[in-house]
């Protein structure tokens, strides 16, 4: 709840005794109080923004302008300011009329002042939530790109991807989006969905690499009651859930071969079978896939079905990595700064010049996701009223150098005779070391460790929170 | 809520001024103005610790609506009596 010591209150009543009494009561409780015996003057002061106001308490029946008329007039330029009406006219009809006109609450005279205080505190809380809500809405609507809310980017590569998404949004052709992890593949998929005829239907996204194979199958296709141990009821899959909408299959390159065959059938026939059922069901959703892998190479290696590759690769869209669209870094950073200031209820002025330079110079191997995490961390940790260079992460190249210098530490930890460790501990320590050495790039880490990404995900989860915050 | 003696004194002294106005409006049979003052009394009496003033306010508002001259005069007299009594108590 907002600190009452900073809340401002407008009191309107032609009864000067009550005006004095309420004014002193609320001032004693730390409110900034503006009293008016005439609603017309209060209205003019609020409208001209001569005073800042969080809540209004107004009498209902007054000689020059009634409380109802006041509310109607104030709603013409302020739709959220809470107004509490007071009246000695205790009829239900009057109360209904007041609330219909937009009053937040309705209190009866003779006043029970502590009850009025509770009403004021609730109104302040509501006002605070409404203000926050409005700020979030503004944050999204002020970033309007080709009719898409909250989509930020002005680089040629980004524009090209979104423009292509717009062109194909109403077609039924299969789309596959290529791009590094965190580069915004889902943003493009959502753009296809939002810009097309399916925008009012569900958009369902799933990361194929983050879910075990058997679970992924039941997630996608659903299952019938008794299909397997634990299937106590039937469940619809995501293909059915996204009825007339879009299913976004992220990291399709990590899909197991058995599921690739099933997905191919879905794409070809537009029919699915729930696990444990014999009947087929028609699906009406559009399927958009994405991957960070070079699928052509995966086909050559035998990890990805060639027929599925050709089936998916009708309209390929490439999302360039953040380091290739430097122009997007500052607008994205500013957007994330506003977002996390709102979430954390802090007020930061922006970035220092040095911080902006650093933002543009960092390699951002984790792309937009890494940038977002870095800004969130900076907003939370900064002790200034802006984000400075020290609040941003170290250049990974420098971190690697520093980690190399610290390799003796790793060696020391492993071979310290007074501190032996288990194979499991050693395993975790080494994964963390390689992950850091690769500047938190998962693909390279998995490659260096000789494990697949799924295994790396699982291992990193076990190491939490040391390494997993970089996801 | 605690109302200080100073606040009560200020409140009752203002009522004395209003009683003078009420008598004047009663002699002019200006029931609209009587109603307005009575409505205020109905709303503020109890808040300042004087439920009887709220009661007189309510009755006076009704009597003025009915344009009942006799009742209006009687209620102004009773109101005046109550205000004077409470002022004496405070002093």
Tell me the CA distances in angstroms from A462 to A191, A277, A428, A449, one per residue in order. Answer: 35, 36, 8, 16
pLDDT (average), residues A12-22: 92
* In the predicted structure, residue A404 carries a pLDDT above the cut 80: no
- C-alpha span between A452 and A409 (Å, rounded): 28
Which chain B residues contact residue A110 at CB under 8 A?
Answer: 42-47, 51, 54
CB within 8 A of A276, min separation 6: which ones? Answer: A223, A224, A225, A226, A227, A228, A231
Q: What is the pLDDT of residue A343?
A: 85
What letter would DSSP give residue A393?
Answer: P
The residue extents of the domains of chain B are 5-90
Strands A144-145 and A148-149: antiparallel
Beta bridge partners of A254: none
Q: Residue written as tokens 């998962």?
A: A442
Q: What is the pLDDT of residue A4?
A: 41
pLDDT (average), residues A276-282: 89
* In the predicted structure, residue A213 carries a pLDDT above the cut 60: yes
In this predicted model, what pLDDT tens digit does every residue of A435-452 receive, in sequence order?
Answer: 877 767 777 888 888 888
Cβ <8 Å between B47 and A114: no
The DSSP secondary structure of A61-72, one letter per residue, reads --SSS-HHHHHH
* In the predicted structure, residue A374 carries a pLDDT above the cut 70: yes
Chain A touched by B42 (CB under 8 Å): yes
Domain B5-90, CATH? 1.20.120.160
Chain A touched by B16 (CB under 8 Å): no
How many Cα neighbours within 13 Å face the side chain of A54?
Answer: 24
Q: What is the pLDDT of residue A291?
A: 94
Query: What is the number of other CB atoms lying within 10 angstroms of the CB of residue A251?
Result: 21
Chain B touched by A117 (CB under 8 Å): no
C-alpha distance from A384 to closest chain B C-alpha (Å): 43
How many Cα neighbours within 13 Å face the side chain of B44?
Answer: 25
Name the band, by pLDDT with cuts 50, 70 and 90, for residue A150.
low
Cβ <8 Å between B7 and A24: yes
Query: What is the number of other CB atoms lying within 10 angstroms of the CB of residue A356?
Result: 18
CB within 8 A of A368, min separation 6: which ones? Answer: A182, A183, A184, A322, A332
- Which residue in A24, A25, A110 is closest to B43 by CB distance? A110
Q: What is the pLDDT of residue A3?
A: 38
In this predicted model, what pLDDT tens digit does every residue of A192-203 receive, in sequence order?
Answer: 998 889 989 999
Mean pLDDT, chain A, rounded, equals: 85
pLDDT (average), residues A427-440: 79
CB within 8 A of A163, min separation 6: which ones? Answer: A146
- C-alpha span between A319 and B79 (Å, rounded): 82
Query: What is the number of other CB atoms lying within 10 angstroms of the CB of residue A413?
Result: 14
Cβ <8 Å between B54 and A63: no
- C-alpha span between A457 and A166 (Å, rounded): 33
Q: What is the pLDDT of residue A466?
A: 43
In this predicted model, what pLDDT tens digit does every residue of B4-28 receive, in sequence order?
Answer: 899 999 999 999 999 999 999 999 9
Cβ <8 Å between B43 and A21: no
Q: Go through the domains of chain A in sequence order and give each one's CATH number.
A: 4-141 (3.40.50.2300), 153-320 (3.40.50.300), 326-390 (1.10.8.60), 397-470 (no CATH)
In this predicted model, what pLDDT tens digit does every residue of A311-366 receive, in sequence order?
Answer: 999 999 999 999 999 999 999 999 899 889 988 888 899 999 999 999 999 989 88
Q: What is the pLDDT of residue A2?
A: 35
Phi-psi region at A388: left, alpha or beta (left = phi > 0; alpha = psi -120 to 50): beta
C-alpha distance from A93 to closest chain B C-alpha (Å): 18
* In the predicted structure, residue A29 carries a pLDDT above the cut 80: yes
Cβ <8 Å between A109 and B43: yes
Chain A touched by B23 (CB under 8 Å): no
ipTM: 0.79
- C-alpha span between A295 and A52 (Å, rounded): 59
- C-alpha span between A393 and A436 (Å, rounded): 13
Which of A17, A18, A19, A22 to mutate against chain B (most B CBs within 10 Å)? A17
pLDDT (average), residues A21-41: 93
Size of interface A-B (CB pairs under 8 A): 47
Percent of chain A with pLDDT over 90: 39
Q: Higher confidence at residue A104 or residue A133? A: A104
Percent of chain A with pLDDT over 70: 89
Q: What is the pLDDT of residue A154?
A: 85
- C-alpha span between A140 and A163 (Å, rounded): 20
Strands A235-236 and A175-179: unpaired
Decide if B46 contacts B1 (C-beta within 8 A).
no
- Which residue in B1, B39, B48 is closest to A17 by CB distance? B48
Query: What is the number of other CB atoms lying within 10 angstroms of the CB of residue A233?
Result: 8
* In the predicted structure, residue A79 carries a pLDDT above the cut 90: no
- C-alpha span between A382 and A347 (Å, rounded): 11
- Which residue in B14, B36, B51 is closest to A17 by CB distance? B14
Q: What is the pLDDT of residue A468?
A: 44
Strands A271-272 and A55-59: unpaired
- C-alpha span between A262 and A264 (Å, rounded): 5
* In the predicted structure, residue A191 carries a pLDDT above the cut 60: yes
Chain B touched by A20 (CB under 8 Å): yes
């Amino acid at each position: 709840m907002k600190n009452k010591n900073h809340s401002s209150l407008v009191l309107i009543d032609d009864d000067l005794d009550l005006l004095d009494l309420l004014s002193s009561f609320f001032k004693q409780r730390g409110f900034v109080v503006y009293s008016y015996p005439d609603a017309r003057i209060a209205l003019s002061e609020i409208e001209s923004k001569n005073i800042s106001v969080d809540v209004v308490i107004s009498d209902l029946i007054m000689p020059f302008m009634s409380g109802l008329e006041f509310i109607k007039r104030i709603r013409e330029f302020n739709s959220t300011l809470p107004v509490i009406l007071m009246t000695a006219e205790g009829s239900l009809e009057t109360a209904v009329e007041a609330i219909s006109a937009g009053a937040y609450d309705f209190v009866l005279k003779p006043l029970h002042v502590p009850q009025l205080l509770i009403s004021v505190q609730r109104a302040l809380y509501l006002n605070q939530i409404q203000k926050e809500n409005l700020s979030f809405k503004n944050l999204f609507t002020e970033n309007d790109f080709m009719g898409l809310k909250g989509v930020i980017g002005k680089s040629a590569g980004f524009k090209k991807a979104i423009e292509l998404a717009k062109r194909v949004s109403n077609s039924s052709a299969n789309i596959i989006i290529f791009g590094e992890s965190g580069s915004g593949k889902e943003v493009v998929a959502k753009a296809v969905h939002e810009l097309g005829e399916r925008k009012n239907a569900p958009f369902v996204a799933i990361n194929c690499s983050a879910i075990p194979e058997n679970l992924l199958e039941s997630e996608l296709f659903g299952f019938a009651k008794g299909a397997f141990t634990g299937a106590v009821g039937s469940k619809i899959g995501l293909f059915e859930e996204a009825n007339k909408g879009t299913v976004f299959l992220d990291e399709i390159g990590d899909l197991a071969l058995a599921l690739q065959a099933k997905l191919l059938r879905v794409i070809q026939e537009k029919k699915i079978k729930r696990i444990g059922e014999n009947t087929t069901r028609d699906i009406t959703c559009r399927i958009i896939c994405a991957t960070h892998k070079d699928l052509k190479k995966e086909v050559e290696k035998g990890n990805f079905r060639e027929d599925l590759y050709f089936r998916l690769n009708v309209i390929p869209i490439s999302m360039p990595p953040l380091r290739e669209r430097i122009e997007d870094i500052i607008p994205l950073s500013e957007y994330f700064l506003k977002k996390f200031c709102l979430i954390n209820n802090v007020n930061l002025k922006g970035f220092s010049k040095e911080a902006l330079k650093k933002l543009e110079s960092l390699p951002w191997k984790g792309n937009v996701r890494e940038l977002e995490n870095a800004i969130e961390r900076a907003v939370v940790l900064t002790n200034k009223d802006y984000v400075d260079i020290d609040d941003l992460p170290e250049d990974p190249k420098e971190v690697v150098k520093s980690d190399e210098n610290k390799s003796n530490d790793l060696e020391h930890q492993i071979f310290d005779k007074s501190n032996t460790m288990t194979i499991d501990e050693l395993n975790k320590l080494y994964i963390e070391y390689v992950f850091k050495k690769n500047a938190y790039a998962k693909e390279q880490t998995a490659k260096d460790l000789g494990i697949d990404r799924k295994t790396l995900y699982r291992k990193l989860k076990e190491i939490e929170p040391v390494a997993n915050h970089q996801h | 809520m605690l109302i200080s003696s100073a606040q009560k004194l200020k409140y009752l002294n203002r009522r004395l001024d209003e009683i003078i106005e009420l008598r004047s409006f009663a002699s002019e049979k200006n029931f609209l103005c009587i109603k307005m003052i009575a409505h205020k009394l109905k709303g503020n009496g109890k808040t300042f610790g004087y439920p009887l003033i709220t009661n007189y306010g309510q009755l006076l508002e009704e009597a003025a609506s009915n344009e009942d001259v006799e009742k209006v005069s009687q209620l102004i007299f009773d109101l005046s009596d109550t205000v004077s009594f409470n002022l004496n108590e405070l002093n």
